[in-house]
Amino acid sequence: MSPDHADRGHPDGSTQPPGGDGASDSAPPLTHRQILTVLGGLLTGMFLVAVSQTSVTTALPTIAGELGGIELIAWIVTAYLLAATAATPLFGRLSDLYGRRRVFQVAIVIFLVGSVLCALAPNMASLIAARAVQGVGGGGVMALTMTIIGDLLSPRERGRYQGYIGAVFGFASVTGPLAGGFLVDHIHWRWVFWINLPIGIASLVVTSRVLRLPHRRVEQRLDLLGAGLMVTSITALLLVTAWGGSTYPWRSPEIAALTVGGLLLGLLFVRRQRTAAQPIIPLRLFASRTFGLVTASGLLVGAAMFGSIVFLPVFFQLVTGATATQAGLLLMPLMGGVIVSSTLSGRIITRTGRYKAHPITGTMLVALALLLLATMDTTTSRVEAGAFTAVLGVGLGMVMQNLVLIAQNDVPAADLGAATATVGFSRTLGGSIGSALLGAVMAAGLSTRLAGLAAGLPDDVDLDPAAVQGSPETILALDPVVRDAVVEAFSGALSTTFLVAVPLAVLASALLSALPVQTLRETRHVGGGPH
């Protein structure tokens, strides 16, 4: 633990752990079986969110084609991540007030309501709004899952259970894209969202039975003003990246107003966090060099990860001609890489107690993978593309969960919930920025290439702009001359998009190299470890 954290407690002066459950390191330890029972409840909710996210990826090109607006495809992901960003710290505070299980189940219900709205969406705007509702629930589920795990297990103990978490993510990662592709190819893309209902109901039943945690109410005030400032600031700045140079010129009054407004609101948010009794992001956490480096690198890795993964199904379906189901299969090497590397990395860290080399190596592999993805074109085989995505998965698996582990190891028990939520906040914020930024890069590159394409076509060949904006099936059914040129335009735009993400991973690796050398603690925050 960093010395500058040693004596911190809650702002109100208490030393109550973040769960407000009245437990501590001196509490009777939970048995291995009890921990597995609680994990079972948590992981059902985590599976719901994870499988939904992975199943949507293979449906994105078809959704954008049917509802219109391939240039808005990144916003289907960005809206989710932006809402999850805002929800992550708020759900931590709510769970202190009303208990972990109750708030965890509310998050699941919100996610299911968002899923229904997505399934019924008549156009792209309403779908994006519905994805934001889904994001609120998804952000709550993921934040509370990691917080409760941090409550129950010491950093050293956590590696023993990393395999269970990895197995759930692995199962969701494999079944999600396949299920999404199958539903798109054989039923309809709307079933990608309808399928969440039975899974969500099962999750509610399981958590009602097994997720029983002690709780003592901790009075806290929700910083709604801070949340409002945060969301409006981030939204304004994201719109700058999305609209600048496409919808509006970079020097237009609209872009200038969004930029100035977003920055001012951001400064007001920081000021609010300094004065709020219960801030969304406690700024005192950043007094630790370790915590500051972890959150900054998490933002960069989140931007590179979400901003690139969104476009892999587009490449597979449009450039290689894969069906949605085949695109799901082609994503399996990525998911497999995440599962294998996260599990092995967790076990090695548990055995040695040292972690620094793992995220550094992971970010370097992410940068290498993005460079390889940037070389892909119409001549790239599916085997080559699968190998490149596997490298990306291995890198991500060595980074993402370990950043949470490092942050939780660095802070005292009183700040565990806030620290976990803040790391999740930085990652989803990075994903929001990355999706919007790289989406704008892809849209601008595609627009430029299509304009050149239209000028270079023979006089007797007609390019229908509506067809170019359609689903993969519509585009691949174009006149061969037009189709090949359009596919080449998509390929070039996607290569540029992957290349732009490389510096993000490189900078993250540089930041992580500056981490102090620490050993993982062997003490718990709440509850106990296995016997």
The 3-state secondary structure of 356-414 reads CHHHHHHHHHHHHHHHHHHCCCCCCCHHHHHHHHHHHHHHHHHHHHHHHHHHHHHCCHH
pLDDT band at 522 (very low <50, low <70, confident <90, very high): low
- pLDDT for the residue numbered 32: 67
Instruction: Write the pLDDT tens digit of every residue in 108-131.
Output: 999 999 999 999 988 888 888 899
pLDDT in tens, 327-371: 778 878 887 888 788 778 877 877 777 778 888 999 999 999 999
Query: Are the beta carbons of 300 and 508 closer than 8 angstroms?
Result: yes
Residues 6+ positions from 20 with CB-CB distance below 8 Å:
95, 96, 99, 215, 216, 217, 218
Cα 215 to Cα 24, 50, 96, 147: the distances in Å are: 12, 27, 8, 14
The number of CA neighbours under 13 Å toward the Cβ of 421 is 29
Q: What is the pLDDT of residue 267?
A: 92
State the helix-helix crossing angle for 382-410 and 155-186, rounded to 10 degrees: 140
| DSSP code of residue 319 | I
Question: Cα dihedral angle (106, 111, 113, 114), rounded to 10 degrees?
Answer: 150
What are 283-312's pLDDT values in tens digits? Answer: 888 888 888 888 888 889 888 887 677 788
Residue 530 DSSP SS3? coil
How confident is the model over 378-395, as pLDDT tens digits?
888 888 888 898 999 889
Q: How confident is the model at residue 20 (pLDDT cuts 50, 70, 90)?
A: very low
CA separation for the pair 282, 261 (Å, rounded): 23
What is the biggest distance separating any 2 CA atoms in the chain, rounded to whole angstroms? 81
Give the domains, in start order, of the chain with CATH numbers. Answer: 16-222+278-513 (1.20.1250.20), 232-277 (no CATH)
State pLDDT tens for residues 57-97. Answer: 778 778 877 786 666 777 787 788 778 777 777 777 777 66
On whether the CB atoms of residues 505 and 368 are closer than 8 A, the answer is no
Mutual orientation of helices 224-243 and 253-275 as an angle, nearest 10°? 150
Q: What's the pLDDT score for residue 457?
A: 62
Sequence-ordered list of residues with C-beta below 8 angstroms from that of 507, at least 6 positions apart, any chain: 300
Residue with more model confidence, 30 or 152: 152
Question: What gap in Å lies between CA 332 and CA 256, rounded to an integer?
Answer: 42
Question: What pLDDT score was predicted for residue 222?
Answer: 67
Q: How far apart are CA 267 and CA 423, in angstroms?
A: 20
Q: Between 530 and 407, name the one with better pLDDT.
A: 407
Reported as a pLDDT band with limits 50, 70 and 90, residue 460 is low
19-28, 187-196, 446-455: which range is least confident on average?
A: 19-28
At 452 the three-state DSSP class reads: helix
